[in-house]
Amino acid sequence: MSQIDPTPRLPSEPFRVAVAQLAPAFIDRAAGVAQIVDAIDIAASEGAQMIVFPEALLPSYPFWLSDGHGARFDDARGKALFAHYSDQAVTIEDGHLDPIRHALRIAGMSAYVGIIERPRDRSGHSLYCSYVFIDAGGEVRSAHRKLQPTFEERLVWSPGDGAGLVTHRVGPFTVGGLNCWENWMPLSRAALYAQGEDLHIACWPGNRRNTEDLTPVLAKEGRSYVVSVCGVMRRSDVRDDMPFADYLREAVGEMPANGGSCVCAPDGSFLMEPWTAETGVRVVELDPAKVREERQNFDPAGHYSRPDVTRLVVDRTRQSIVDFARQ
C-alpha cells in the first residue's frame, strides 16, 4: 500500500549559493582579486547563482593587531604596516574590483565580497571594512561599511554609516549582509528584516566559535536562510616578501582563523555544518518555499510586528564632513 505524504509541498525552484571559505592572499590586492576570480569560475562550473566571500578577504583581515602590540602609539613599525595595508586596500572608484565584476558578468552570478575599502569620499586614506554587493550584471549595487569596528579593529578601521543597510532581490530571495559582530546587533538585523530580507549573509574573518551558535539563532529569529561565510588564516599565509614578515608570523600565530562557514535553514537546522581548517568552495541549494513555511507562524517585520508600538529609525545618509551648497 503506497503512503501519502501528509504534508505535500508546492513546487519551488531551488537557488544555488556558493560559500567560498578561503585564506587571503595576505595584503596583496592583485593576488587577492585573482583568487576571487578563480573562486567565481569554480562556483560557476557548479551551477551557483550567487557566491559569498568572507569579511575583509581583500586584501586581508588585520590578524596581527591582537598579539602584535598594535596599540603602541606613534610606533614606526605600526605606521609602516598601516601604510602598506592602506596601499593594498580597495578603492572601488579606481576600478580595483573591475576584474571581479567582469568575472561575475560572464558567469551571470551575483556576489558579496568582503573588502577593506579606501574610499575617496572620506579623504582617500581612512579604511573601512565594507561588504560589497555586485549583481549578476557586474554592477556594484551597495557597499556596506561596518557600523562599528570591534575592539582592536578600531586601530585600523573607521566606523561606517547606514548607507549600505540595504537589501537586494536575487532570484527568489531578498538578500542582505552584515560584517562579523554586526550580526549580533538587533537593530541592524531589524533594518534588513524590514526590507524583506529572507536570505541573510553573515561574513566573518573566521572561527567556528563565531558561527556555530549564532547562525541557527539568526535563522530562527529571521525565519530566513542564513549563510555564515568565514576565512582561514595560517602562519604560512604570511609570505617571505611581506614587510616585517617575521614579526607578522609571530604576531599572527599558528591559525588565528580556522573557518567555520555554515548554512542554516529558516527553522534553524543546519544545511551545511560548520567546516574548519580547510579552504574551498562549497555549493548549497536553498528552497524558497521553506521561508514561506516558517513565516506562517512568525514574521518579524510582517504579521508578528507591531509598528504602532515599536518602530526603528534608520539614517541611510552616506556620511561626509562637508555639504557643498550650490551656487
Q: In this model, does residue 220 exceed pLDDT 90?
A: yes
Quote the pLDDT of residue 8. Answer: 54
How would residue 2 be classed by pLDDT, with cut points 50, 70 and 90?
very low
Written as nine digits, the cell of 34 is 585573482
Contact 52, 111 (CB under 8 A): yes
Average of pLDDT values for 260-275? 98
Q: Can you tell me the distance from the alpha carbon of 251 to that of 81, in angstroms, rounded to the nearest whole number?
A: 13
Average of pLDDT values for 244-272? 96
146 is catalytic: yes
| pTM greater than 0.85 (yes/no) | yes
Quote the pLDDT of residue 1. Answer: 42
Q: Can you tell me the distance from the alpha carbon of 143 to that of 122, in angstroms, rounded to the nearest whole number?
A: 14
Quote the pLDDT of residue 323. Answer: 86
Average of pLDDT values for 61-68? 88
Written as nine digits, the cell of 237 is 599565509
* CB contact set of 60 (below 8 Å; sequence gap of 6+): 24, 25, 26, 27, 32, 85, 116, 233
- For the stretch 19-46, pLDDT in tens is 999 999 999 999 999 999 999 999 999 9
Q: Name the percent of the chain lying above pLDDT 70.
A: 96
Average of pLDDT values for 73-95? 95
Average of pLDDT values for 247-269? 96
Query: What is the CA 192 to chain-centroid distance, rounded?
Result: 14
Quote the pLDDT of residue 13. Answer: 83
Q: In this model, does residue 6 exceed pLDDT 90?
A: no
Query: What is the CA 206 to chain-centroid distance, rounded?
Result: 11
Average of pLDDT values for 222-237? 97
How would residue 71 be classed by pLDDT, with cut points 50, 70 and 90?
confident
- For the stretch 157-206, pLDDT in tens is 999 999 999 999 999 999 999 999 999 999 999 999 999 999 999 999 99
- For the stretch 87-146, pLDDT in tens is 999 999 999 999 999 999 999 999 999 999 999 999 999 999 999 999 999 999 999 999
DSSP state of 120: G
Catalytic residue among 55, 117, 153, 182: 55
Q: Can you tell me the distance from the alpha carbon of 226 to that of 114, in angstroms, rounded to the nearest whole number?
A: 17
Q: Can you tell me the distance from the alpha carbon of 123 to that of 52, in angstroms, rounded to the nearest whole number?
A: 29
Q: Can you tell me the distance from the alpha carbon of 287 to that of 266, in angstroms, rounded to the nearest whole number?
A: 10
Q: Name the percent of the chain lying above pLDDT 90.
A: 90
Contact 271, 284 (CB under 8 A): yes
Written as nine digits, the cell of 176 is 542582505
Mean pLDDT value across the chain: 94
DSSP state of 317: P
Quote the pLDDT of residue 10. Answer: 53
220 is catalytic: no
Catalytic residue among 129, 180, 262, 264: 180
Distance (Å) of CA 92 to CA 78, 134, 157: 25, 12, 17
- For the stretch 238-253, pLDDT in tens is 999 999 999 999 999 9
Helices (H), the chain: 29-45, 76-87, 98-107, 186-193, 208-211, 214-222, 245-252, 288-294
Quote the pLDDT of residue 67. Answer: 79
CATH superfamily membership of 15-294: Carbon-nitrogen hydrolase (3.60.110.10)
Geometric angle at alpha carbon 127, from 121 and 129, rounded to 5°:
105
Catalytic residue among 146, 220, 290, 293: 146
